[in-house]
Structure 1
Amino acid sequence: MQFYYGPQMPLRILDEAEFWKHQEEEHTVVIRELVSGLEPEFVDALKKWEQALGETHKQVVSFIESVIRSGSEVSNQLYQQVLQLVSFCLQESESFIQLCEQIKTHSQAVSSNHTAKVVLNHIIRESEYFIGIARALLSSGQ
């Protein structure tokens, strides 16, 4: 992601968060559908994550609408709220990665499914990509 968006930067990072939270939400379904015989504790955890990520996605969409309504002048308060939401999204993605790692290393159903391992690694890399974007924004002091 490029950082030359100026006053549109809050909208740009929210667009990224909106896209990646939706992706992570869909990834919970992909994992459940792909891994036949996935242990019930992982199925339950993925269902809870699907709901949580869906809620975060809705919150991001709400913030996008607020930023758009604010026009060319995003208040400092709204900007700080956007940064807090981005920080939450980053932490949520880190926790989602932890769950994916647990599934990859502790699931018997995954241990015998090479495709599932490849897909889980791909899902982890995609969430890491968003984390990199979010960290860059938060550390840049934008």
Structure 2
Amino acid sequence: MQFYYRNQMPLRVLDECEFWKQQEEEHTVVIRELMKDLETEFFDALFEWETAFREAHGRVVRFIETTIRTTGTFTYELYRELTKLVSFCLEQSVQFIAFCNQLIQESEPIVNNPTAKVVMKHIIDESEYFVGIAQAVLYSKYI
């Protein structure tokens, strides 16, 4: 994400949150489809993650709709809510990364499948990219 958006950064970070929550939701499906012989607890956890990402995506979309209706003008309260939402999305991604690392270490179908490990690491890399964006925005002067 480019940082030249300046006063439009809050809108841009919302775009990123919306995109990455949808991506992470789709990643849960990719993992389930690629590794059909996952242990039941991991398979079930992926459904829970899918639901959690769908709900987070919905929260972001609703916030975007609110922002659109305020013509992109951010009051202090709106900034505060935006910061809480971005922080939530960031923490959710951090937890998902930990879960994916757990899968790589503990799930036999992944441990024994080099291709599955590559896919998992790619999924982790993508979530880490979002974490980096969210942290940069949260700790910058643009939000």
CA contact (8 A) 2:18 2:61 kept: yes
Task: Measure the CA separation in 1 of the matches of 2:69 and 2:96.
Answer: 31
CA contact (8 A) 1:32 1:46 kept: yes
CA contact (8 A) 2:104 2:111 kept: yes
Deviation at residue 17 of structure 1 after TM alignment: 0.4
**Match of residue 23 from structure 1:** 23
Cα deviation, 1:72-91, whole Å, max 9, x if unaligned, reads 42211111101110001000
Task: Measure the CA separation in 1 of the matches of 2:74 and 2:90.
Answer: 22
CA contact (8 A) 1:100 1:120 kept: yes
Gaps in structure 2 of 5+ consecutive residues: none
**Match of residue 110 from structure 2:** 110
Q: Give the count of matched residue pairs.
A: 142
Cα deviation, 1:115-137, whole Å, max 9, x if unaligned, reads 11000000000000000000000
Larger displacement relative to structure 2 (71-80 or 130-139): 71-80
Gaps in structure 1 of 5+ consecutive residues: none
Q: Which runs of 4+ in 1 moved over 4 A?
A: none
| Residue 124 (str. 1) matches residue 124 (str. 2) | yes
The one-letter code matched in structure 2 to 1:117 is K
Cα RMSD over matched residues?
Answer: 0.9
- Per the alignment, do residues 71 and 106 of structure 1 end up closer, same or farther by CA in structure 2, a change over 3 Å counting? same
Identity of aligned residues (%): 58
Aligned pairs (5 A) from 1:72-111: 72-111=72-111
TM-score normalised according to structure 1 size: 0.96
Give the 3-state SS of the residue equivalent to 1:140 in structure 2.
coil
Task: Measure the CA separation in 2 of the matches of 1:73 and 1:64.
Answer: 12
TM-score normalised according to structure 2 size: 0.96
Give the 3-state SS of the residue equivalent to 2:139 in structure 1.
helix
Task: Measure the CA separation in 2 of the matches of 1:138 and 1:10.
Answer: 10
